[in-house]
Chain A
Amino acid sequence: MTTDPAIELEGLEVVYRVRGTDRSVLRGVTLTIGRGESFGLVGESGCGKTTTAFTIMRYLPRNGRVVSGSIRVNGEDLLAMGEGGVRRLRATTLSMVYQNPGSALNPSIRVGPQVAEAFELIGAHKGEARDRALQMLTKVQISDPARVMRRYPHQLSGGMQQRVVIAMALAKDPTLLILDEPTTGLDATVEAEVLDLVLALRQEFGTSVLFISHNLAVIAKMCERVGVLYAGTVVEEGPADQVFRDPRHPYTVGLLRCIPRRGVRKDETPLDTIPGFLPRIGALIPGCVFEPRCGLAQEICRAEEPPLYPLGDGRFSRCHFHEKAHLLPRTAPSELKTARHANGVPILELANAGKTYRQEGQEIQALRDISLEIRSGEVLGLVGESGSGKTTLARVLLGLTAPDAGSEVVLEGNPLAGRVEKRSDDQVSAIQVVFQNPDGALNRRFSVKRIIGRALTKLRGLRGSERDNRTKELAQAVRFDESLLAARPSQLSGGLKQRVAIARAFAGDPRIVLCDEPTSALDVSVQAAILNLLAELQAEEGVTYLFISHDLGVVRYISDRIAVLYLGRVMEVGSSETVFNPPHHPYTEALLSAVPTLGGEEKERIRLEGEIPSAAEPPSGCVFHTRCPRFLGDICVNEEPPLEEVESGHFMRCHIPIDELRRLQSAEHDELAKPVAGA
């Protein structure tokens, strides 16, 4: 690293003009990224991460404007440049990788010409550009790049697409590579691969990286230094390991506490949250931007904007009380409201359940031979990569999708009809759902009162004042302010919307609530509040949850038992502790190993080769054998292992004997058991 930085932002202030008034989005962002350095920018949505990236690329939307401050790239003043200079810079010096690779690639141009174009832009001839594109695709570890070059982007999986985008971004050997949530839409296993690739390429190219993510663990893994962005201000900056181990700003402290830590469970302690809301864009803040939500705030915080206090070692904190940031009061209630209702009696049972879709003459087995029980009062976590059949399973239970003939779905001893329309009213209200995306799940033309009230009318037969009273009770139960009942969903924040969706799910006094990724669309602080709410509601109402999530930390926190799905088959079922501790199924092992952790030392990762195979042509024998890190041999290829009880209450679908797995995996156990520091 030379002393000359790759990029310097100084006092950057950006406003968006909305309905005739300027509203500040960035309130003085100052940061420096050295040559070859990787800098992480974290913060919740709405803090200005993407605006920062767009400002650097000079891609601000039409109503956006830089009010003051400067951006220097290789010492050149970017903001003073004309359109030509900016274009030259974008062609040679700055690169950006976006969150959604599907829309970053032109769908009508084959991958080869599309990547080659990036080389032609910097002056390569057609043939040469093609050769270099091939080389670059090899570098981003695309297997059989020559074949991939002849394909269209939509024929590639998300992970492959993102590799192609990265290849194009690196074509010009940029000084600065901006990655804006590059793995957020990807599965944990694919994410791990892409992150490893970026790490390797950074070493090879010596590129400076600005890595934007809301995921602290990803930043911890990828970046040397980190800046924490809150309300358009960098509130803390410093070496990543130090910031995460010993945060010196209350916001950083709060963010870290929101994340479910390894080994912490819902019946031990609720999660901390960050109370309150992000200030609105354009709000006037005389003092510290975080003051309204800060448990440490004093008079001075309201009156005086804290300067960037240097803490030594290149660390800075924008907090008057940075020395006592770690003393931030816990927000989680100290007494436990959770109580266990699990009594081991199965409430919902699936036997030989399957679901086959027919598409263009092909049979796609989304679910196959699922035998599973959900016990009264428990939380059954359901994990697996996308395409493993998690959502299909939920839809079958709900009756939104009819299972194949011969499947048995039994609720409290009574068989359930395949379609919800054929179920009795009691059966319909017994199983309800909280969807992932509250924007789609709530009718945007209805008021909250109408949304909850309608469910009460249909599922409980309540009308008039009875219904209104119950609506208010439900709102209270989900900590939703009564004064907002008249609001429409568009007036509410994501967390509040999800509370409405939860209230609706509980309207009919359900026995089972399916939670399909209920917190994936939310920020971590909101996620923590929603998880607390779900745990509390369970304790009060004694409901059973089927909790679907790709976030293993969340699943581990909330679940009593866990089922692991792969290609529509249950690979492993057991209590949360059994599944998360060895011996586990090789697939579970790989899933766990793919998740980046905060503070933990980098352990040897178990790689999963390639992507989840198509359900239209599942591999022979054990469906996991094509990617299995502990592949045995012919038996795995030829014979599908049964789901067997290997220990008491622990079922697994694997040819490897349990004791052998225990021996193989014991080395990693110590790592997994370690608590995470900095929390």
Chain B
Amino acid sequence: MTVAQDPAAPIAVPVQPDQARIARHERLRLLGRSPTFLIGCLLAGTWIVCALFGPLIAPHSPEFPDVLNKLVGPSGEHLFGTDRLGRDVLSRVIVGARAVLIVAPLATLLGTVLGTALGLITGFYGGIVDEVIMRIVDAVLAVPLIIIALLAIVALGPSRLTLILVIGFVFSPIIAKTVRAAVLGEAQLEYVQAARLRNERSPYVMFAEILPNVMGPVIVEFTVRLGYAIFAVATLSFLGFGADPSIPDWGQDISQHYQFISGGVWWPVLFPSLAIATLIVGINLIADAIAQTFER
């Protein structure tokens, strides 16, 4: 009997295609075929184009007051009619996308970064750190968004930056909770113990070892929160806490015209409202589609 091979050496090493990469491709392919995702992209994409190229697309200047044609209903000249100052509603809706689409994504990004960091810290350390931070988080969640926002805007003065900070700050606890749950599952795994057994510093373990493994929930959470952020931005500007009253803004336009509805003037309110609704629906459809592919 001769020795055929070294038993420990595999005779043929089966190189399986990278499962992670396949999963990623598969996810993209599924997304590409999902009608939910495509409709969402169509809706949200339209508004992104408006935000980027608004002044070029808009048929009229959003600021030009046609004083002779105030509050004129939809017509061939003004498809969405004019507002109380005689400005073209269609143009204001198109250009107004920019205000929302700058503030909301940045605020969501801030909230996601902050919330992910909090979730990693609480989930990783556990114990007293977890208790203290999570109780603060609960306290923040207990206060309505609007109240915090009003306080901050009064204190800091209305500006885009204030809006971004306030919404980002208020959203971070919710994101922290989701991320914390995912981190708790990961922290049980032995690779985290293995890291401790080579004297890794905690930040390395949290951000280099664990974070890449919880990116799925983080991405889903980002898209979901983005929808809420758009709503929050619109609400605040409706209440008069918008970034800048001189810039066309959906929420602000609605607030300035809703008292005319009783007089049968519905167009300056309906069209900005529809804009908000379609953008949020679009973002939520995308969020749903992404969450579904991660759940598979």
Binding site for B on A (CB under 8 A): 19, 270-273, 275-277, 280, 292-293, 295, 329-334, 398-400, 420-421, 425, 428-429, 431-433, 435, 437, 440-445, 454-455, 458-459, 479, 481, 483-484, 487-488, 490-493, 495-496, 504, 508, 528-529, 532-533, 536
Contact = CB atoms under 8 A, between A and B. Distances in A.
A420 B199 contact: yes
Interface string B1-34: 1111111111111111111100000100000000
B61 to A, nearest CB: 51
A435 B7 CA distance: 23
A630 to B, nearest CB: 38
Contact of A493 (B14, B200, B209, B213): B14
A408 to B, nearest CB: 21
Interface stretch (B95-103, B186-194, B243-251): B186-194
Interface residues of B, number: 35
Contacts of A432: 197
Contacts of A479: 6, 8-10
B296 interface: no
B44 to A, nearest CB: 29
A177 to B, nearest CB: 34
> What 5 A-B pairs are tightest by C-beta distance, nearest first?
A490-B19, A445-B212, A441-B190, A458-B198, A440-B189
B199 to A, nearest CB: 5
A192 B212 CA distance: 43
Contacts of A332: 3, 7
Contacts of B194: 433, 435, 441, 504
A491 B7 contact: no
Contact of A484 (B1, B13, B188, B190): B13
A44 B15 CA distance: 20
B4 A275 contact: yes
Contacts of B26: 19
Contacts of B212: 443, 445
B18 A331 contact: no
B12 A276 contact: yes
Contact of B190 (A273, A295, A435): A435
Given A443-B212, A490-B16, A532-B7, 18 more contacts: A270-B7, A275-B11, A292-B11, A292-B12, A295-B4, A331-B3, A420-B196, A420-B197, A428-B198, A433-B197, A435-B194, A441-B190, A445-B213, A454-B198, A481-B10, A487-B15, A504-B194, A508-B198
A346 to B, nearest CB: 22
Given A421-B196, A440-B189, A444-B213, A273 B18 contact: no
A488 B1 contact: no
Contacts of A295: 4
B199 A491 contact: no
Contacts of A495: 10
A532 B5 CA distance: 14
A18 to B, nearest CB: 11
A536 B2 contact: no
Interface of B: 1-20, 26, 188-191, 193-194, 196-200, 209, 212-213
Contacts of A280: 14, 16
6 contacts: A293-B11, A332-B3, A333-B7, A431-B197, A459-B199, A490-B18
B155 to A, nearest CB: 42
B7 A275 contact: yes
Given A332-B7, A435-B194, A445 B20 contact: yes
Given A420-B197, A425-B199, A433-B194, A331 B4 contact: yes
Contacts of A454: 198
* Interface core residue of A292, A400, A445, A496 (most chain B CB under 10 Å): A445
A275 B199 CA distance: 37
A399 B194 CA distance: 11
Contacts of B9: 275, 479
Contacts of A19: 26
Given A275-B11, A331-B5, A491 B16 contact: yes
A4 B209 CA distance: 60
Contacts of A431: 197
B13 A491 contact: no
Contact of A400 (B3, B12, B196): B196
A493 B14 CA distance: 8
A421 to B, nearest CB: 7
A428 B54 CA distance: 61
A483 B2 CA distance: 28
Given A435-B190, A491-B15, A508-B198, A444 B4 contact: no
A271 B7 CA distance: 9
Nearest to A279: B14
B165 to A, nearest CB: 32
Given A276-B11, A491-B19, A493-B14, A333 B199 contact: no
Nearest to B215: A445
Nearest to A455: B198
Nearest to A460: B198
A441 B3 contact: no
Contacts of A398: 193, 197
Nearest to B213: A445
B236 to A, nearest CB: 38
Nearest to B194: A441
Contacts of A528: 7
B14 A536 contact: no
Contacts of B17: 491
A336 B5 CA distance: 15
A57 B11 CA distance: 37
B20 A490 contact: yes
A532 B197 CA distance: 25
Nearest to A510: B197
A23 B18 CA distance: 19
B127 to A, nearest CB: 13
A277 B199 contact: no
Contact of B15 (A270, A440, A484): A484
B6 A333 contact: yes
A270 B209 CA distance: 37
Contacts of A442: 191
B19 to A, nearest CB: 4
Contacts of A529: 7-8
Contacts of A496: 10, 13
A433 B197 CA distance: 8
A19 B30 CA distance: 11
Contacts of B10: 275-277, 479, 481, 495-496
A19 B18 CA distance: 15
A276 B5 CA distance: 10
A528 B8 CA distance: 9
A529 B5 CA distance: 12
A335 B4 CA distance: 14
A281 to B, nearest CB: 11
Contacts of B198: 428-429, 454-455, 458-459, 508
A631 B211 CA distance: 54
